[in-house]
Amino acid sequence: DIVMTQTPLSSPVTLGQPASISCRSSQSLVHSDGNTYLSWLQQRPGQPPRLLIYKISNRLSGVPDRFSGSGAGTDFTLKISKVEAEDVGVYYCTQASQFPVTFGQGTRLEIK
Amino acid sequence: QVQLVQSGAEVKKPGASVKVSCKASGYTFTSYEINWVRQATGQGLEWMGWMSPNSGQTGHIQKFQGRVTMTRDTSISTAYMELSSLTSEDTAVYYCVRGTWELLEHWGQGTLVTVSS
- The alpha carbon of residue B98 is apart from the nearest alpha carbon of chain A, in Å, by 11
Q: Which residue among A92, A96, A104 places its CB closest to the CB of B101?
A: A96
**Residue of B33, B35, B45, B50 to mutate when probing chain A, most A C-beta within 10 A:** B45
pLDDT (tens digit per residue) in B20-63: 999 999 999 999 999 999 999 889 999 999 999 999 999 999 99
Interface test with B, best of A53, A54, A101, A107 (most B CBs within 10 A): A101
Cα–Cα separations (whole angstroms), residue A2 to A24, A75, A94: 10, 13, 10
Q: Given strand B3-6, what is the order of strands in its sheet?
A: B3-6, B18-25, B78-83, B68-73
**pLDDT in the model for residue B42:** 86
Amino acid at residue number A60: L
Residue-wise burial string across A74-105, b where 16 or more C-beta atoms lie within 10 A, e elsewhere: bebbbebeebeeebebbbbbbbbbbebbbbbb
**Which residue numbers of A have CB closer than 8 Å to B's CBs?**
35, 37, 39, 41, 48-51, 54-55, 60, 92, 94, 96-97, 99-106
> Based on C-alpha coordinates, what's the Rg of chain A?
13
pLDDT (tens digit per residue) in B3-15: 999 999 999 999 9
DSSP three-state, residue B30: helix
Q: Which residues contact B72 (CB under 8 A, 6 or more apart)?
A: B29, B34, B51, B53, B56, B78, B79, B80
The shortest CB-CB distance from A39 to any of B46, B102, B107 is to B102
Average pLDDT over residues B89-103: 94
Closest chain A residue to B35 measured between Cα atoms?
A: A101
| pLDDT for res B30 | 97
Q: Which of B45, B61, B102 is the closest to A103 by Cβ?
A: B45
pLDDT tens across A2-38, in order?
A: 999 999 999 999 999 999 999 999 999 999 999 999 9
Supply the pLDDT for residue B102.
86
Q: Which of A55, A100, A103 sits opposite B44 (nearest CB)?
A: A103
In Å, how far is A18's CA from the nearest CA of chain B?
Answer: 24
Q: Give tens-digit pLDDT for A66-102.
A: 999 999 999 999 999 999 999 999 999 999 999 999 9
Residues of chain B found within 8 Å of residue A48, distances taken between Cβ atoms: 95, 107-110
CB pair distance less than 8 Å for A96 and B100 = yes
